[in-house]
Amino acid sequence: MIKKRGQVWVETVIYTMIAFALIGAVLGFVKPKIDELKDKSILEQQINTFIYMDSKITEAMQGAPGNSRQIQISIKKGTLTINAVDDRITFEMDSKYQNSEVGKNVDIGGGLISYTIKKGKGYFVNVTKDYKNSYDLRYNELDENKQLTFSANMYNLQVQNKEITVGTEKKIIANFQLT
């Protein structure tokens, strides 16, 4: 009877170890795919945010000087940069998902350009919207850059039309500030 009890415990331990090994093997294959799908979802969400943001900027700039719009932005991963020096807005993130062809600028619609770089086992993704030919971007009325990174809370960003006249030319300034 003692031998049977010992054998039951040995079998239980062996079966438990086999189950853990199988779970570990499955997770080893499934987790990278889950991470890739999660990054794909985040990137698609940020691209949609970009499109929403661009529409709000356009609305504010098409109105009269002083016209403004509120933009709520959520950043789950990566960095959104308002590059007032070069008049462009970029979103960058390290990703397990390959958003576009590596090493090439790819137009993904709405004037957004995606550039992907292979980085170790993952990728570095950059999505850019260039406003150089449309508006002069500013942050707090200065030609300075502002980075928005991961936050549990939403960012409240305001864009205002600060149109000025220089001689006979009108210059449309898109001024951003956090509210």
Mean pLDDT by 10 residues, the chain (179 residues): 67 90 88 91 90 92 89 92 94 91 89 92 93 92 92 93 82 91
Residue type, 176: F
Q: How far apart are CA 53 and CA 26, in angstroms?
A: 40
Q: Domain count of the chain?
A: 1
The pLDDT score that the predictor gives to residue 17 is: 93
The pLDDT score that the predictor gives to residue 136 is: 92
Please report which helix (H) or strand (E) contains residue 66, including its range. none
Q: β-pairing, 122-130 with 112-119?
A: antiparallel
Domain that holds residue 145: 2-178
